[in-house]
Amino acid sequence: MVVALEGKAVVAPIQVSEGYWRGVMRRLSRNPVAMIALGIIVLLILMAVLAPYLAPADPVKGSMLRRLRPVGTPGYPLGADELGRDMLSRLIFGARLSLFMGVTPVLMAFVIGSGLGIFAGYVGGKLNTAIMRTIDIFYAFPSVLLAVALSGALGAGITNALVSLTIVFIPPITRVAESVTTQVRNRDYVEAARASGAGGVTIVRVHVLGNVLSPIFVYATSLISVAMILASGLSFLGLGVKPPEPEWGLMLNTLRTAIYVNPLVAALPGVMIFITSISFNLFSDGLRSAMDVRS
């Protein structure tokens, strides 16, 4: 029953299963919805990077004579805003700040929150209770209120808005990280690693990280759209981006007075936010199922 190795002259090449990430890519590429979402995200990023070349007009140069032109006006394919600035150019340039404001705080919160959550989840006991109850304090505030309060305390400006948004997103990411780590920590393979005499850091590096980072990452991607909307809220209150900088959230808010005059133009920044956030959501959804090795 046990295969003896003696006398085996034929050395077959080792059959290697495809690597983990290669498998994820293959499964992801077979998911049409996720691929379309990814395509839109790539287009948005390209649009942000190439904004000066794509935009037909200066996004901040206005004209009181051409205020609130409807969609389709010659020279203004998507109309003009309440100060007569070209909407198309403003939407293209707006992608820069909006994407930046959406992605950066989530990225920073992902790094800090996962670190905190994995530590709390793996160590457990009183330290876990201390960390998680502290995190819970932040949960007592609605996220918008917390962001506004923090930004207000730190002072207006993009940097402070980013810092306050990061602080807003650390608690939910820590929560998710802590709960998946607690689950993984009690699996038999972690027990087996402990039984082999490995230390905590080695076990986390080899056995825990690989199994917890993907669910946390998927959750974090779904927060990007929330971050964009919160960032626009801060801009509206004068705590984030300041006019005349083009940013979708800010544009949506300044155009709200024109909703009865020219509803289509007023809705356009909202449409951009919607497309971006749903693309990130659908992509993270696809990523979640592609990361499940058993599928």
- The contact set with other proteins (CB under 8 A) reads 1-6, 11-17, 20, 187-189, 191-199, 202, 206-207, 210-211, 293-294
Identify which of residues 74 and 197 has a Cβ nearer to other proteins in the complex: 197
- Minimum Å gap between C-beta 4 and other proteins is 5
Instruction: Find out whether 248 and 234 touch, Cβ atoms under 8 Å.
Output: no
Residues 6+ apart with CB under 8 A from 295: 27, 289
Residue with tokens 């029953």: 1
Instruction: Find out whether 69 and 255 touch, Cβ atoms under 8 Å.
Output: no
- Minimum Å gap between C-beta 126 and other proteins is 11
| Amino acid residing at 199 | G
Identify which of residues 35 and 198 has a Cβ nearer to other proteins in the complex: 198
Identify which of residues 50 and 192 has a Cβ nearer to other proteins in the complex: 192
Query: DSSP per residue over 17-43, as a string?
Result: PPPHHHHHHHHHHT-HHHHHHHHHHHH
- Minimum Å gap between C-beta 53 and other proteins is 43
Distance CA 229, CA 235 (A): 10
Identify which of residues 7 and 74 has a Cβ nearer to other proteins in the complex: 7
Identify which of residues 4 and 137 has a Cβ nearer to other proteins in the complex: 4
**Coil, strand, or helix at residue 2?**
coil
Identify which of residues 23 and 270 has a Cβ nearer to other proteins in the complex: 23
Distance CA 98, CA 112 (A): 22
Angle, alpha carbons 256-262-266 (nearest 5°):
40
- Minimum Å gap between C-beta 131 and other proteins is 18
Identify which of residues 32 and 197 has a Cβ nearer to other proteins in the complex: 197
Angle, alpha carbons 7-9-11 (nearest 5°):
130
- Find, among 182, 174, 180, 186, the residue nearest to 117 by Cα: 174
Instruction: Find out whether 173 and 222 touch, Cβ atoms under 8 Å.
Output: no
- Minimum Å gap between C-beta 211 and other proteins is 6
- Minimum Å gap between C-beta 6 and other proteins is 7
Identify which of residues 111 and 206 has a Cβ nearer to other proteins in the complex: 206
Q: In sequence order, what are the beta bridge partners of 73?
A: 76
- Minimum Å gap between C-beta 202 and other proteins is 6
- Helices 32-49 & 87-123 angle (0-180, nearest 10): 120
- Minimum Å gap between C-beta 177 and other proteins is 17
